Structures are given as structure tokens and as C-alpha cells.
Chain A
Amino acid sequence: MRLAAFTLIAAAALLRAADGPGTVPAGSASNKPDQERVETPPPPFTDGIFPCSNCHATQPVNRTRRELKDMHTDIDLRHDETHRWCLDCHDATNRDFLHLASGERIPFEESYLLCGQCHGEKLRDWRAGVHGRRTGNWNGTKSYLLCAHCHNPHQPRFHALAPKPAPRPPARPSR
């Protein structure tokens, strides 16, 4: 169910891709010609949640790890949750950004850099076009999805989904 919702978000994001896609450098591992541009749709924010500073700018920063009671109660963190918490990825001083382990701030459009800190081999494959879905042209402009379009960053594991109907077995001749 959640995956279905996510797929919807991804689809909606894809539709919106026209009004402001980010561009991913085609990757270090490859020697792709310039025409092989790769585009990503905007990050899949829940409606109305971005920019985060709308609310957070006026709030004091509370760095203590705690259970969230008032806001973001829908987030059930299952992503190495024993070691990590919101501010390990979200930037406390500018809420509209994420940050890397180095402290370097990155926009949500480049969240793959953050994911790639731990999942380096996935990032490498994603850049080469091997991990994740690509749409568009095999010999021209392609669209990638960001990691977060398919994997909920707070619960990245894929959820099972219902298969489409099985083929009909061939009919036996009647005698």
C-alpha cells in the first residue's frame, strides 16, 4: 500500500518533471557524450511540507533525540534507527537542506549524495544507469528517479505488491 502511494508520488513527480528537473552529472565511471543528459524529477515531498523553514525558522533547535509527538508523527523511522535520528541527515541550521557527514549542506535535489555515503556501490550503479529506473531515450535525454522516489528514506525497504493476473493456461481440447 505504502509502495503504491510512493509509486503515485513518483508518477506525479515525473509529470511535474517538466517544470524544473535537476541534472545529474552523467557519472564518474562513464565516458558518456554530453547529449546523454540525465534528468531527475523534483524530490517527492509530501504536499505542503516544503520549505521546512516555513515552520522551523521560528522554532528553537532541539537536538535531543526524542519521540515526535506533535508533528511528523507519520514518520516511523526504520533506517538504521538505533544509530540515527532526524538531524543526522536534515540540517539543523537551515532546515531546507540536508547535510553530509562532513557537514556540507546539500539541497534535496542532490539527496543521492547523502544516500551514497553509505550505499556507495548503489550510487555508482545508479549513475551508470544500472540501479533504478530510467525513462526517456536510450540514446538521448533520460530521466532518472531520485533514490527517494522509490525508497521512502525513512523506511527504505521495498514493500511487497500484488502481481498482475497470471496468464491463462492453454485450453485442453474437449473430446
Chain B
Amino acid sequence: MENDAKHNSENLSRRGFAAAAAGAATWILTSCGPKRLYEVPKDRLRTKISELEQRYQQRYHEHINVADTQPMAGVEYAYALDLSRCIGCRRCVYACVAENNQSRDPQIQWIRVLSMEKEKGVDLAHADPYYNPPEVPEEGHFYMPVQCQHCENPPCTKVCPTAATWKERDGIVVIDYDWCIGCRYCMAACPYGARHFNWAEPEIPTAEINPNTHYLGNRPRTKGVVEKCTFCIQRTRTGRYPACEEVCPVGARKFGNLLDAGSEIRYIIEHKRVFVLKEDLNTVPRFFYFYAT
């Protein structure tokens, strides 16, 4: 009898130990070390972000606000660009650089405007991103700005060994810079050349830093991580238009909610001649090119 009880209690404590050990292991796995944004418990997120803001404060001597605005319900973003309007002025490129804190030196630009010959049509093999005439548009040329296409079926997110990049519910393909190890597999996988690597510590003049940032968007990056267009996540998740859309002098850029039947994006898809880049790769871009006239 006595023996039995002893046996029992020993058993209990052993079981208790196992449970405690498992608990500790889970605790270690879930609460130590960096996390991808979606795994961080909501109550810890703010602490994590304010730590980040403090680090930025030290580095840039300015308060940089890092938001973690979540996707809106019933919203999936899409972009449309009117090829019959774009004049290749590159205003969008530089508005994007300023808004999204891209490195000035080494130079990183999320938007690349390609000059193409009207005779050849959309022909990437003969496209020139370095065109530099005194005035645009040039005779016989048209222009095709290319940036992240926010594919429905993104090849880049599948190859990431650390799952540092993924597609959000509102369709934005994002990168968690804290998880990016800089292997650049995603850059090889992207058929649009939309991803860019920080080969050196990015350099931005302090006066030009945009202090309104998003965790998954334009917060300052470091050397060794990949970055790309986020549809201006810091603006669009609060209802605003992306920076490139607002700056375009000819109004070639259009943005909106694909799920809203009254949006301009739906009007374009339903009424204009629309195509996507490299349709044959089945990436299903959320970035449409169209001809309004």
C-alpha cells in the first residue's frame, strides 16, 4: 500500500516534470529570438516595435514611427498603369525612393522605367532602362514602368528558406527584414526584377528620411537584406493612394480595391484593353497594364 502510493507520487512528479519541460521548450521556442511579424503575440508587438523605434532614434537622431497597420477586411489591392499615357518622366521612381526610404548610395530604385520602341511593341529583350534624352517622350518610343507585380501566385515567396517573405490577406507581398538572411533566392525567382539587394549599408541623408513607416514596408533597412515595392503599405492601409500614383504628371497610374465593383481599377479591367506582364509564367500579377485610348 505504502509502496503503491510512493510509486504513484513518483509517477506524478515525473509526469509533472515532462509537462514542465515541454512548457519550457515551447516558451523558449515562442518567446526568444526574433519573429516574423505574424507570429508575434499582439501584446508583445508594441514592445518589439518601440524597441525598433529606439534603435532608429539612435541611428537617425529622429523619431521614426513604425506602424503595424493590419490589412482591411474585404480589400485586395491592384494597380493599373496606362501605357498610352506614360511619358517616361521617372517622377514616379523618385517619389517612390523618397517615400520608401530607399538607399541613395548605393542606389536602389524599386521602380524601373523601360523605354521601348513602338515598332517592336512590348519587347523586354530590347528595352532600355538607361534612356536619357533631354526631353521625353521620344519620337517612336513608349515607356513601361516595372515594379513588384504583387502576384497572386508569387514565385519569390516559395523559395525563401526562412519564410521571411509572404503574401498578406490584402494581396501585398511583404518582406520581414529581420528574417531576411540575404540569400537572394527570391531575386532569382522573380521574373520581373522587382527585388533589390542592399549590397552595402544603405545611405539616406537624415533630412530626407520619411519618418512615417510600416514594419513590413518603408522602415529603414540594413545591409544584407532584400527589399521591393509594397504598394506603399504605410499609406494604402490607411486609405491613401501610393506615392507613385499621386505624383504621375499625366495620371497614368491607377490604384484601388479589386473587390470593389465601383473602383476605378474594376472599371479599367472591365472597359479597357488590359494585359499583364509575362502572363505565360502563371504568376497572375495584380499589376495591370492598359491602354485607355
Residues on A close to B: CB < 8 A?
A: 3, 7, 29-33, 36, 125, 128-140, 150, 158, 160-169
Contacts and interface: CB of A to CB of B under 8 A. Distances in A.
B236 interface: yes
A160 B135 CA distance: 6
A136 B242 CA distance: 9
30 contacts: A3-B249, A29-B267, A31-B261, A128-B264, A128-B267, A129-B254, A129-B267, A132-B251, A133-B246, A133-B248, A133-B250, A134-B241, A134-B251, A137-B239, A137-B240, A138-B239, A139-B75, A158-B87, A161-B89, A162-B135, A163-B89, A163-B136, A164-B93, A165-B132, A166-B90, A166-B129, A167-B93, A167-B109, A167-B129, A169-B130
A130 B107 contact: no
Contacts of A29: 267
Nearest to B250: A158
A139 B248 contact: no
Q: Which of A30, A36, A150: most chain B Cβ within 10 A?
A: A30
B112 interface: yes
Interface string B253-277: 0111100111110011001100000
B139 to A, nearest CB: 10
Q: Which of B137, B255, B257, B262: most chain A Cβ within 10 A?
A: B262
A138 B251 contact: no
B165 to A, nearest CB: 23
Nearest to B108: A167
Interface of B: 72, 75, 82, 87-91, 93-94, 107, 109, 112, 129-137, 236, 239-241, 245-246, 248-251, 254-257, 260-264, 267-268, 271-272, 292
Contacts, number: 106
Given A130-B292, A164-B94, A135 B241 contact: yes
Contacts of A30: 262, 267
A138 B249 contact: no
A164 B89 contact: yes
A36 to B, nearest CB: 7
A140 B292 CA distance: 24
A158 B137 CA distance: 10
Contacts of A136: 240-241
Contacts of A166: 90, 129-132
A135 B256 contact: no
Q: Which of B132, B249, B268: most chain A Cβ within 10 A?
A: B249
B135 A140 contact: no
B137 A32 contact: no
Which 8 pairs from chain A and chain B are nearest by CB?
Answer: A129-B264, A133-B251, A164-B90, A160-B135, A166-B132, A137-B239, A132-B251, A32-B262
A163 B136 CA distance: 6
B223 to A, nearest CB: 16
Contacts of A165: 90, 132
Contact of B130 (A140, A162, A167): A167
Contacts of A36: 262
B256 A138 contact: yes
